[in-house]
Protein backbone atom coordinates (compact mmCIF):
# COMPACT_ATOMS: atom_id res chain seq x y z
CA UNK A 1 0.00 0.00 0.00
CA UNK A 2 1.56 3.33 -1.00
CA UNK A 3 2.05 6.00 1.62
CA UNK A 4 -0.77 8.47 1.63
CA UNK A 5 -0.18 12.10 2.41
CA UNK A 6 -2.03 13.67 5.29
CA UNK A 7 -4.27 15.57 2.88
CA UNK A 8 -5.53 12.28 1.44
CA UNK A 9 -6.61 11.10 4.90
CA UNK A 10 -9.67 13.30 5.13
CA UNK A 11 -11.06 12.00 8.43
CA UNK A 12 -7.70 12.50 10.14
CA UNK A 13 -7.49 15.99 8.66
CA UNK A 14 -10.99 16.76 9.92
CA UNK A 15 -10.09 15.57 13.43
CA UNK A 16 -6.86 17.59 13.46
CA UNK A 17 -8.69 20.71 12.25
CA UNK A 18 -11.51 20.25 14.78
CA UNK A 19 -9.22 19.77 17.80
CA UNK A 20 -8.94 22.80 20.11
CA UNK A 21 -6.62 23.94 22.89
CA UNK A 22 -7.08 21.67 25.89
CA UNK A 23 -8.52 18.77 23.86
CA UNK A 24 -7.05 15.27 23.81
CA UNK A 25 -7.04 13.23 20.60
CA UNK A 26 -7.51 9.59 21.59
CA UNK A 27 -6.42 6.77 19.27
CA UNK A 28 -6.14 3.03 19.79
CA UNK A 29 -2.76 2.30 18.20
CA UNK A 30 0.13 4.53 17.18
CA UNK A 31 0.71 2.69 13.89
CA UNK A 32 -2.84 3.61 12.78
CA UNK A 33 -2.03 7.31 13.06
CA UNK A 34 1.01 7.48 10.76
CA UNK A 35 3.19 5.24 8.61
CA UNK A 36 6.44 7.13 9.01
CA UNK A 37 8.27 9.05 11.70
CA UNK A 38 8.03 12.13 9.46
CA UNK A 39 4.21 11.98 9.38
CA UNK A 40 4.09 11.13 13.07
CA UNK A 41 6.25 14.13 13.96
CA UNK A 42 4.20 16.36 11.65
CA UNK A 43 0.97 15.30 13.33
CA UNK A 44 2.56 15.65 16.78
CA UNK A 45 3.74 19.17 15.96
CA UNK A 46 0.32 20.19 14.67
CA UNK A 47 -1.33 18.92 17.84
CA UNK A 48 1.27 20.58 20.06
CA UNK A 49 0.87 23.93 18.26
CA UNK A 50 -2.87 23.77 18.94
CA UNK A 51 -2.39 22.77 22.58
CA UNK A 52 -3.90 19.34 21.96
CA UNK A 53 -2.62 16.24 23.77
CA UNK A 54 -2.50 12.81 22.18
CA UNK A 55 -3.45 9.65 24.05
CA UNK A 56 -2.61 6.24 22.57
CA UNK A 57 -4.61 3.58 24.38
CA UNK A 58 -2.78 0.38 23.42
CA UNK A 59 0.69 1.70 24.21
CA UNK A 60 -0.49 3.86 27.17
CA UNK A 61 1.08 7.02 25.75
CA UNK A 62 -0.10 10.44 26.83
CA UNK A 63 1.74 13.39 25.25
CA UNK A 64 0.47 15.80 27.87
CA UNK A 65 3.64 14.95 29.85
CA UNK A 66 7.34 14.71 28.95
CA UNK A 67 7.53 10.91 29.42
CA UNK A 68 4.59 10.45 27.07
CA UNK A 69 6.21 12.67 24.43
CA UNK A 70 9.44 10.65 24.69
CA UNK A 71 7.56 7.36 24.29
CA UNK A 72 5.57 8.81 21.38
CA UNK A 73 8.74 9.61 19.46
CA UNK A 74 10.56 6.37 20.34
CA UNK A 75 7.64 4.11 19.43
CA UNK A 76 7.12 6.06 16.22
CA UNK A 77 10.73 5.41 15.21
CA UNK A 78 10.43 1.71 16.11
CA UNK A 79 7.16 1.39 14.17
CA UNK A 80 8.76 2.89 11.08
CA UNK A 81 11.76 0.57 11.44
CA UNK A 82 9.47 -2.48 11.67
CA UNK A 83 7.46 -1.36 8.65
CA UNK A 84 10.60 -0.82 6.57
CA UNK A 85 11.91 -4.27 7.57
CA UNK A 86 8.60 -5.87 6.56
CA UNK A 87 8.63 -4.10 3.19
CA UNK A 88 12.27 -5.09 2.63
CA UNK A 89 11.45 -8.76 3.35
CA UNK A 90 8.46 -8.55 1.04
CA UNK A 91 10.60 -7.14 -1.80
CA UNK A 92 13.18 -9.88 -1.23
CA UNK A 93 10.47 -12.56 -1.29
CA UNK A 94 9.00 -11.21 -4.51
CA UNK A 95 12.44 -11.04 -6.14
CA UNK A 96 13.14 -14.64 -5.13
CA UNK A 97 9.76 -15.82 -6.40
CA UNK A 98 10.29 -13.98 -9.70
CA UNK A 99 13.72 -15.57 -10.10
CA UNK A 100 12.11 -18.98 -9.59
CA UNK A 101 9.32 -18.14 -12.06
CA UNK A 102 6.66 -18.37 -9.35
CA UNK A 103 5.61 -14.72 -9.22
CA UNK A 104 3.68 -13.08 -11.99
CA UNK A 105 2.17 -10.15 -10.09
CA UNK A 106 -1.45 -9.23 -9.65
CA UNK A 107 -3.71 -9.87 -12.61
CA UNK A 108 -4.92 -6.59 -14.13
CA UNK A 109 -8.65 -6.46 -13.47
CA UNK A 110 -9.60 -3.12 -15.00
CA UNK A 111 -7.81 -3.72 -18.32
CA UNK A 112 -9.82 -6.87 -18.93
CA UNK A 113 -12.96 -4.75 -18.68
CA UNK A 114 -11.96 -2.31 -21.44
CA UNK A 115 -14.51 -3.68 -23.95
CA UNK A 116 -17.28 -3.36 -21.36
CA UNK A 117 -16.19 0.21 -20.57
CA UNK A 118 -16.38 1.15 -24.26
CA UNK A 119 -19.76 -0.56 -24.68
CA UNK A 120 -21.28 1.25 -21.70
CA UNK A 121 -19.83 4.57 -22.82
CA UNK A 122 -21.31 4.04 -26.30
CA UNK A 123 -24.67 3.53 -24.56
CA UNK A 124 -24.27 6.97 -23.00
CA UNK A 125 -23.38 5.82 -19.47
CA UNK A 126 -21.18 8.25 -17.55
CA UNK A 127 -17.75 7.40 -16.13
CA UNK A 128 -18.90 7.35 -12.50
CA UNK A 129 -21.74 4.95 -13.28
CA UNK A 130 -19.45 2.74 -15.41
CA UNK A 131 -17.00 2.57 -12.50
CA UNK A 132 -19.78 1.63 -10.11
CA UNK A 133 -21.25 -1.05 -12.37
CA UNK A 134 -17.91 -2.66 -13.21
CA UNK A 135 -16.46 -2.17 -9.72
CA UNK A 136 -13.38 -0.34 -10.96
CA UNK A 137 -12.11 3.16 -10.27
CA UNK A 138 -13.06 6.18 -12.36
CA UNK A 139 -9.38 6.56 -13.25
CA UNK A 140 -9.47 3.04 -14.68
CA UNK A 141 -12.54 3.96 -16.71
CA UNK A 142 -10.73 6.96 -18.20
CA UNK A 143 -7.62 4.88 -18.90
CA UNK A 144 -9.76 2.29 -20.69
CA UNK A 145 -11.48 5.00 -22.72
CA UNK A 146 -8.08 6.29 -23.86
CA UNK A 147 -7.23 2.87 -25.32
CA UNK A 148 -8.86 1.00 -28.15
CA UNK A 149 -11.39 -1.68 -27.23
- Asked if 95 and 124 sit in the same domain, the reply is no
Q: What is the pLDDT of residues 87-145, one digit of tens each?
A: 999 999 999 999 998 887 777 778 889 999 999 999 999 999 999 999 899 999 999 99
Is the domain of 35 the same as that of 77?
Answer: yes
- Kindly state whether residues 77 and 26 are assigned to the same domain: yes
User: What's the CATH code of the domain at 90?
Assistant: 3.40.50.1390
Q: Say whether both 136 and 115 belong to one domain.
A: yes
- Give DSSP secondary structure letters for the chain: -----GGG-HHHHHHHHH--TT-EEEES-GGGT-SSHHHHHHHHHHHHHHT-EEEETTTTEETTSHHHHHHHHHHHHHHHHHHHHHHHHHHHHHHHHHHTT----PPPTTGGGHHHHHHHHHTT--HHHHHHHHT--HHHHHHHHTS--
How many folded domains does the chain comprise? 2
Q: Domain span at residue 35?
A: 6-99
Amino acid sequence: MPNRSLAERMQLEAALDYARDGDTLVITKLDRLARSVFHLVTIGERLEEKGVALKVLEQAIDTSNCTGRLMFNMLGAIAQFERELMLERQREGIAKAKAEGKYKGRAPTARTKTPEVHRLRAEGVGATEIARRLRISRASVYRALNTSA
